[in-house]
Amino acid sequence: MAESNKMKEMPVNKLMIQMGIPMILSMALQAVYNIVDSAFVGNMKVGSEAALNALTLVFPVQMLMVAVGIGTGVGTNALLARTLGQGNSKKAAKVAGNSLFLGVIIYVVCLLFGIFGVKAYIASQTVDAKVLEMGVSYLRICCVISFGIIFFSLFEKLLQATGRSLYSTIGQVVGAVVNIILDPIMIYGIGPCPEMGVKGAAYATVIGQVASAVLLFIFHIKLNKEFGHGAKYMKPDTGIIKEIYAIGLPAIIAQALMSIMVYVMNLILKFNPSAQTAYGLFYKVQQFVLFLAFGLRDAITPIIAFAYGMRSKKRIRDGIKYGLLYTVVLMILGIAITEIFPGAFATLFNAGQSREYFISAMRVISLSFLFAGINIAYQGIYQALNGGLESLVISLLRQLIIILPLAGIFSVFARNGQMGVSLIWWAFPITEIISCFVGYVFLKKIRKNKVDALN
């Protein structure tokens, strides 16, 4: 029970650093998957421009699969941490088991889409036959072998809920290393492996994800001793599933809205394939920075949820204070890197005709990182304190209600080359600033109604 005692007794400042660093590294490595694929694909001898465009088009579905897996994991994480904080190990076992049952259902849906829906999805975004062929090949592999990323996401959150975030990071590192090693071998055809191009990138990605999932499964069984394991706990319990998604559904919607936003932005930029590719490449860099905030959020949520289960006002308040403080520090670092080195990132991806559009996007959109990071931290706080509705509203504002109409309006004036397209990029900072103001209002309300009201 040492890990539970740590969640209960360790000073929150120290606990957040100890839990947050592995989670931040874990999320950063998750973002590396897509960056590495694009970097190797962008340097293919033949068809690199079309391949980069194809990866841009498939990215929203990859994000959606991750969204459902991580969102279910977030709900499991907060509910499991709260249940352990209450000392209810029997319910904790059912929470963990039901999350794995949900993982099986999610995989079946992804498998069916991979078999029947991929071609229609890619065709809606491009008329280029080569891009269509590459996109379908890549995405079908990712969907059919998606059980790796789904169960990795669940086991990761089960380990984080008990304070064992270091082990989830080890699993992520192993998967990332496998992916990085296999990418050049399978894409370019090194040694006995034939040259597979974008198919090789897809296989390298899913093999890395499966390796991570298997390792985290072993860690979960051997280390999470605070509750029972076994198939009997996977029997569906409607009440527990409702509790998981009462917390996790806003996180799923938040992540799914990211997929919808990228898909619609691809449609908005369809008039300029170079700008479309540039946005896709920049989005992967943006995700790398914002995933630092997501990683810290995954420390904020169980720490505050555990304290909420204990009914400790001080630990909740400390969780909010240090969570926001460290998020701001991370985002300032992210802004500095992207503003100073846009050319280096463009060279990494071999952006070609998209280079100037890519640099322009990085210069403008990166200004939104500070406010975006704070919004992500707000959502972690809301989820820990049963503020699912507030979390959902912030997600809708950031990724649907403000951003897409604004980008659509700006696109009317964006038909005249790079300067016109750069106007679309300004929709991102404007959206995050407005959402951050609304998030602050929600935070004050939740602190008053749920934290200050504790006995």
Closest CA to 27 of 302, 256, 291: 291
The pLDDT value recorded for residue 371 is 97
The pLDDT value recorded for residue 106 is 96
The pLDDT value recorded for residue 247 is 82
The pLDDT value recorded for residue 208 is 94
The pLDDT value recorded for residue 68 is 92
Amino acid residing at 390: E
Closest CA to 59 of 194, 201, 167, 188: 201
The pLDDT value recorded for residue 127 is 85
Helices 238-268, 89-116: crossing angle, 10 deg rounding: 40
The pLDDT value recorded for residue 121 is 94
Helices 48-85, 12-42: crossing angle, 10 deg rounding: 160
Q: Can you tell me the distance from the alpha carbon of 401 to that of 376, in angstroms, rounded to the nearest whole number?
A: 17
HEC assignment per residue over 327-369: HHHHHHHHHHHHHHCHHHHHHHHCCHHHHHHHHHHHHHHHHHH
Q: Can you tell me the distance from the alpha carbon of 430 to that of 402, in angstroms, rounded to the nearest whole number?
A: 9
Q: Can you tell me the distance from the alpha carbon of 128 to that of 242, in angstroms, rounded to the nearest whole number?
A: 44
The pLDDT value recorded for residue 205 is 92
The pLDDT value recorded for residue 420 is 67
- Terminal alpha carbon distance of the chain: 26
Q: Are 171 and 148 spatial neighbours (Cβ–Cβ below 8 Å)?
A: no
* Spans in the chain with pLDDT lower than 50: 1
Task: Give the phi and the psi of residue 350 in degrees, each rounded to 5.
Answer: 50, 55
